[in-house]
Structure 1
Amino acid sequence: MEPLLAATRAYEAVDASVTVRWDFTPLADFERGTELRPGAGYDLVTFDHPHVETIATNGLLHDLTGLLTQQVVDGLAADAVGASHLSYVWNGQVFGVRLDAAATFAVRRVDVAEPQAKTLEGVIDEITRSRGTASVLLPLVPTHAGALLVSLMINMGADVAAGWPGFDSAQARAAVELMQRVWPYVLPDSVRLNPIQVLDTMVRNPAHAYSPFVFGYAPYADQRRGDGRLVFGPSPGVLGGDGLRGMLGGAGLGVHRESAHPEAAAALAAWLGSASVQRSFFVPLGGQPAAWSAWRAGCDDPHFGGFFTGTKAAMKQAFLRPRATGFAAMQAEAGRILVAGLLAGKAATALCDELATAEQAMLTHPSSASVP
């Protein structure tokens, strides 16, 4: 929030004809795409990339290739962190400027030794033994429990580029069985927490020592937090060898179809996404730039405890989740079913059957789960 506001004030100082007012909404509204709906009354909206097909199909945002020069669009693409620019592109149309970038990482309190194990189960066992009690948190509100399930499936061999394999796949079964094995070591508070709440809880409570999968944010690694700061790095793998490939997050900035000032809105969005602005405002003020040159600049900032250095490889490798209409809502429903099944001790076969049934219903009739 602070980097965005500071950068906006600088823009207004340069162009006195522009006045900008930002409204901030809860994380859950961002994930649902609430501000994308017709009648929202905004010129610019931040949005989550899983809604891109819905945006394109329903004409909710302007295609920025009609509002920005090709040189500007190409520059935003060339300097993107990982797939952050690509995530807002659908069938050649560009619906968002990559405003910030995030991905899922492992995180530990600074007073917790870095685990030596390489697999998810091995790390959780190591952390539990060293602390003498369950000390692992996960963000398990529905959307993020579903994100974890999808991530485990992809890291177990599901090829999203070739088509979503579904919850009746071998990868889904393996992911559910893995969750069942680690479930006894996950703190019960997890089922009520989103990523920000996980990080806040870890900062406040030394007993909550580690999370293997959570969207990471640089301010939590700030050296000025002292003993309360957190350390981020790649998540442990599920099959040994390489670490878990994380899920890409972040926020895009799009021009609402109903904007009365689309050219001015697009110009502001492109300025906010430019390398110089991301380097000057986002890095020093605790934001997470989506411009790769700005992320690299963050590696030299001593305040953030190695956050940008420790996560840059994971950011570049983060996978792009499916963006088909209805998938975001289906992911949330899958998360709800997963957690309910784990709490109830449901068998893996029955849990996968329930997931597959819900998936078929929601993806066959996605309109009820779409943004409009």
Structure 2
Amino acid sequence: MTAYRGLTWDHPRGTEALRRAAAGFSAPPSPAARHGDTLTWDAQPLEGFESHPITDLCARYDLVVLDHPHLGDALAGGALTPLSALFGPEVIAEWRATTVGASADSYTAAGELWALPLDTATQVAAAHRATVPELPTTWEQVTALAAERPVVLSLAGPHALLTFFSLCCALGEPPDPAPASGLVPRDTALAALELMRDLTRRADPATFGLNPIGLLGLLAAGRAAYCPFVYGYASYAARAAGAPVRFGDVPRLAPGGPLGSTLGGTGLAVTRRTEVSPALARHLSWLLSAGAQRTYLPERLAQPSRREAWRDPALDAAFSGFYSGTLATTEGAWVRPRHAGYPAFQTAASAVLRAAATGASSPADAFAETVRLHRALTL
């Protein structure tokens, strides 16, 4: 009999379904299903999920919901158990084959899958439904909307860097993941930063420090009209909640150009300190099952990773077209590297780029410093 503890992130999307499922795991209704193990979930703020040292969390918890760039630090610290030690190859192959886009690949390193691809999200476009009846499809339409309505950019925490990366992808130059690289061509970087500056010149500076949850709260309340790149939360489009936010694919920088986006989502990892019982292994596997992903999790505000769920017409209708409207962007989203030290780089580089995007420093100097920080990952 083991009392397991997990750590997730503090939003209903990250807590509600996991905690309800854990209650059922800890006290099965059927006597035949009782195993004696228990599972409880703690939560940390989104900022902790994005930047708290992962090895510290893994030393204190049995299960950790993490972001894929944390893998480098986690593996360098020997903090995680590879899922091949817990699940058969056919189970892992099925997860790889059925998840949306690069969800499973993002938690893969050194030939192993290190976290269950529990939740899929990427940067998508979002708008106040009543204010913006049709989402812009090109950047020209974005700038036209910004001249009339409050448009915001996601810049807080690591998000200035992630928005910059998405724009570089949309310009046809995905970042080079090699630590010693120059990231992207200089002209591409300066063009991306100029696009960011063009929007921040007209934006309320109070929005620059808001994380995606804060920005979506503004959109839901109608205090902002549109954001071209923000991590999607289907719950803000739930019909049951009035569907205040409209989501869709990110705008193209030119008609027919690429949809640029930087993959997010969450993975559920098992820490090295944990002895996984058969009951816990079954519970974790169930979280990625078709049934749980199509009904149980979304009904409790979680966001699924399986493609069947994303393509389910009933689920899509319940969330006002969130899944069909953002699927193309999600399928093509760029995956960040999993180098040791990458979360710290994200934080530092984002601060540098945020200053440039908001007019506090030179774009050229900011890009040079970002490249220097990236190359320092190998030192």
Alpha-carbon distance change, 76 to 97 in structure 1, aligned in 2, over 3 angstroms: same
Contact 1:33 1:48 in 2 (8 A): no
Counterpart pick for 2:145 among 127, 140, 144: 127
Aligned-pair CA distance for 1:299: 5.0
Question: Partners of 1:124 and 1:234 in 2: how far apart?
Answer: 13
Question: Partners of 1:263 and 1:43 in 2: how far apart?
Answer: 15
Matched, 1:275 2:285: no
Matched, 1:82 2:101: yes
> Unaligned stretches of 5+ in structure 2?
1-14
Cα deviation digits, residues 257-294 of structure 1 (max 9, x gap): 01143655444322212222112311222221011112
Alpha-carbon distance change, 212 to 235 in structure 1, aligned in 2, over 3 angstroms: same
Matched, 1:101 2:117: no
Cα deviation digits, residues 53-91 of structure 1 (max 9, x gap): 222232110011011111111111111111111111112
Contact 2:234 2:322 in 1 (8 A): yes
Question: Partners of 2:42 and 2:135 in 1: how far apart?
Answer: 44
Question: Partners of 1:187 and 1:42 in 2: how far apart?
Answer: 39
Question: Partners of 1:103 and 1:34 in 2: how far apart?
Answer: 22
* Identity score, percent: 32
2:7 aligns with none
Counterpart pick for 1:259 among 271, 274, 282: 274
Counterpart pick for 2:230 among 214, 218, 243: 214
1:25 aligns with 44
Instruction: Show the 5 A alignment for 1:2-21.
Output: 2-12=16-26, 13=28, 14-21=33-40
Alpha-carbon distance change, 336 to 291 in structure 1, aligned in 2, over 3 angstroms: same
> Unaligned stretches of 5+ in structure 1?
366-372
Aligned with 2:64: secondary structure? strand
Matched, 1:169 2:183: no
Aligned with 2:44: secondary structure? coil
Aligned with 1:173: secondary structure? helix
Aligned with 1:40: secondary structure? helix
Question: Partners of 1:64 and 1:110 in 2: how far apart?
Answer: 41
Question: Partners of 2:332 and 2:366 in 1: how far apart?
Answer: 30
1:355 aligns with 370
> Normalising by structure 2, what TM-score?
0.86
Alpha-carbon distance change, 36 to 293 in structure 1, aligned in 2, over 3 angstroms: farther
Contact 1:47 1:251 in 2 (8 A): yes
Question: Partners of 1:310 and 1:241 in 2: how far apart?
Answer: 17
1:223 aligns with 239
Aligned-pair CA distance for 1:102: 0.7
Matched, 1:59 2:86: no
Aligned-pair CA distance for 1:44: 1.0
Cα deviation digits, residues 137-168 of structure 1 (max 9, x gap): 12211311111112222222334467454267
1:140 aligns with 155
1:369 aligns with none
2:6 aligns with none
Aligned-pair CA distance for 1:3: 1.8
Q: Report the RMSD for the aligned CA atoms in angstroms.
A: 2.4
1:191 aligns with 208
Q: How many residues align?
A: 358
Question: Partners of 1:185 and 1:171 in 2: how far apart?
Answer: 23
Question: Partners of 1:344 and 1:328 in 2: how far apart?
Answer: 25
Question: Partners of 2:66 and 2:135 in 1: how far apart?
Answer: 37
Contact 2:165 2:174 in 1 (8 A): no
